[in-house]
A and B are shown apart, each in its own frame.
Chain A
């Protein structure tokens, strides 16, 4: 199985800050990485797929980069509604696997 490791596990930031979350795959997955946002009690929401493609309807302050084993999700200017938990997921091969999550908290 491909293991996905996110860092940090949690981060505190303020509205307007720029924040980056990283995800590392245990083996190369080309650009087959997705990012999800999950708020408490809600289903995950797809933000980014194929490492850098913005899902329709997702604000442009979200961006993704990387290929191979190292990936980054960046939020350019945090908004109040962005405080949530973020997960990466490799889609290169079955079994599909997720990172452990990064909790983004208000400072």
Chain B
């Protein structure tokens, strides 16, 4: 059974870079039919898609975050990662990684990690 697990610091200082890793177990990240993504949820708010990556490295980012976001993949470790630079308190959120099912250009998230809370504070 496929499982995703987020890891990384729970506290990041303002202006610094948030770095998270998602480890995929029970399946290969190098699948031709899936992408991999990051979604976040600020306290008491809705879901916000951050970005998505294919195992070969192609990426898609939310335009509202594009200037600060980098998503990368390490197929040898079956992991993908998120970096968000110049963080502010507005980036405080639960961050989820997810498997993105892709069928002829249609995308939905069918397996989710439990999420990790990141707080931006000095």
Contact = CB atoms under 8 A, between A and B. Distances in A.
A62 interface: no
A97 interface: yes
Contact of A46 (B49, B60, B108): B108
Most buried by A among B46, B103, B110: B46
A89 B108 CA distance: 8
Interface stretch (B24-32, B70-78, B111-119): B111-119
Interface stretch (A10-18, A67-75, A98-106): A98-106
Contacts of A34: 108-109
Chain A, interface SS category: loop
B107 A91 contact: yes
Contact of B114 (A1, A43, A50, A94): A43
Nearest to B104: A32
A45 B60 CA distance: 22
**Which of B52, B105, B108 has the most A CB atoms < 10 Å from its CB?**
B108
Contact of A43 (B48, B108, B113): B113
A84 to B, nearest CB: 13
A87 interface: yes
Given A49-B110, A91-B108, A95-B62, A44 B49 contact: no
Interface in B92-109: 96, 101, 103, 105-109
Interface of A: 1, 32, 34, 36, 38, 42-46, 49-50, 55, 87, 89, 91-101
16 contacts: A32-B106, A34-B108, A42-B114, A43-B114, A43-B115, A44-B47, A45-B112, A46-B109, A46-B110, A49-B101, A49-B108, A87-B47, A91-B108, A93-B105, A96-B49, A96-B107
